[in-house]
Amino acid sequence: MMPRKRPLWAYTLLSLLGISLLAIAGLWLMTRAETKGTLEIRLKDHREAIGDFATLEVSVRVVRLSPKTARTAAQADWQDLSPSVKQVDLTRYTGKNSAVIFHGKLARGHFEAIHLKLDPVKGILKKNQQEVLIENLITPIKLPFSIHPRTETGIVLDLVVLDIRDHPPQGYELHIKGYELYTGGRLVDKIPPG
């Protein structure tokens, strides 16, 4: 007895089913791989006393993010990010110019604070080429943002060097004046507003 031949439509159906299963598996793997978003963090200096300096180098030790689940910044399980660029001369980044200090992929999530940890900050004064130590008064700041899959989130931290030579303890101080928050290339929040 001869084996029965399957009709052509059965082979076509099986082939289409196989192709469909491969396509579904491929889509599933692609969506699993694209659950991360991109975060870029930049620095710039707000024009106050930065004009006193020929150079003002900041060395970024770590950038810390606080997940939204924490009750306070002190109780947070901070997520540490190693900077892509460690040294930045703030005299070169004022106005609209900013320096990238971190660029990388992160899993989706919601965050509520950021803390820029710097090594000792030194500058060279223009007028006498003297090296001065700048007191680093940067502390964690409240900055609510989210990381979304396949979306770039950008944060520009606006630092400011203040001249307090006519007030005790005299010298210069470094603070965070504000930030700009971008999602998908659009400005979505700015402190101070304006």
Query: Given a cut of 60, is residue 157 above it in pLDDT?
Result: yes
Which amino acid, 141?
A: I
Q: Can you give the pLDDT at residue 75?
A: 57
HEC letters along 107-157: ECEEEEEEEEEECCEEEEECCCCCEEEEEECCCCEEEEEEECCCCEEEEEE
For the chain, percent helix, then strand, then coil, each to nearest 5?
A: 20, 50, 30
Q: Can you give the pLDDT at residue 5?
A: 63
Q: Can you give the pLDDT at residue 19?
A: 72
* Confidence tier at 187 by pLDDT (50, 70, 90): very high
Tokens encoding 45: 């200096």
* Confidence tier at 95 by pLDDT (50, 70, 90): confident
Query: Given a cut of 80, is residue 41 above it in pLDDT?
Result: yes
Q: Can you give the pLDDT at residue 48?
A: 76
Three-state DSSP class for 160? Answer: strand
Tokens encoding 59: 């060395």
- DSSP symbols for 6-44: PPHHHHHHHHHHHHHHHHHHHHHHHHHHT-EEEEEEEEE
Rounded to whole angstroms, the Cα distance separating 194 from 178 reads 11
**CA triplet 141, 65, 139: central angle to 5 degrees?**
30
Lowest mean pLDDT, pick from 2-6, 103-107, 120-124 = 2-6
Query: Given a cut of 60, is residue 27 above it in pLDDT?
Result: yes
Q: Are 64 and 78 in contact (CB under 8 A)?
A: yes
Q: Can you give the pLDDT at residue 6?
A: 62
What residues does each domain of the chain span?
36-191
Backbone angles phi, psi at 103, to 5 degrees: -150, 115
Query: Given a cut of 80, is residue 24 above it in pLDDT?
Result: no
* Confidence tier at 45 by pLDDT (50, 70, 90): confident
**CA triplet 157, 127, 61: central angle to 5 degrees?**
30
| N-terminal to C-terminal alpha carbon distance within the chain | 88
Q: What is the dihedral of CA 70, 76, 80, 83, to 10 degrees?
A: 80
Q: Can you give the pLDDT at residue 17?
A: 67
Q: Give 83's contacts (C-beta < 8 A, 6+ positions apart).
A: 60, 61, 62, 63, 101, 102
Tens digit of each residue's pLDDT (9 = 90 or more) over 131-150: 999 999 999 999 999 999 99
Query: Given a cut of 70, is residue 192 above it in pLDDT?
Result: yes
